[in-house]
Amino acid sequence: MSFANINIDIDQKEIRDYVNAKLDEALENELFLCDINELAKRTCMSKSFLENEILCDPRMRLLERRKEKGKRFWFYKESLEVIREIMNEW
């Protein structure tokens, strides 16, 4: 009796991308607040672009939370909606 040989080629990058996408999807459902670093990562925009074009908008300033001279945070889901509105106006 002979045994069959099975070779499986695994694309490590594809698996890593799939896992990261699933993690991002799970985090998106759980993320409540975000900082500028997280906004930059999730929108694929630089921090300077966000500062100059998005975060100076009055609608985004309404969502900003910070203590005196402390780290700034934004409500995540609401921020995405406002960023979408701002970009639709361009």
What is the sign of the dihedral through the CA atoms of 49, 52, 54 and 55?
positive
pLDDT per position as a tens digit, 33-86 = 888 998 898 888 899 999 999 999 999 999 999 888 889 999 888 998 999 999
pTM, two decimals, is 0.61
Q: Provide φ and ψ at 17, rounded to 5°.
A: -60, -40
| Lookup: tokens for 88 | 């639709």
Q: Provide φ and ψ at 34, rounded to 5°.
A: -145, 160
What is the sign of the dihedral through the CA atoms of 62, 67, 47 and 45?
negative
pLDDT per position as a tens digit, 12-32 = 888 888 998 888 777 766 778
Q: Hunting for tokens 């799970």 — which residue is that?
A: 26
DSSP 25: H
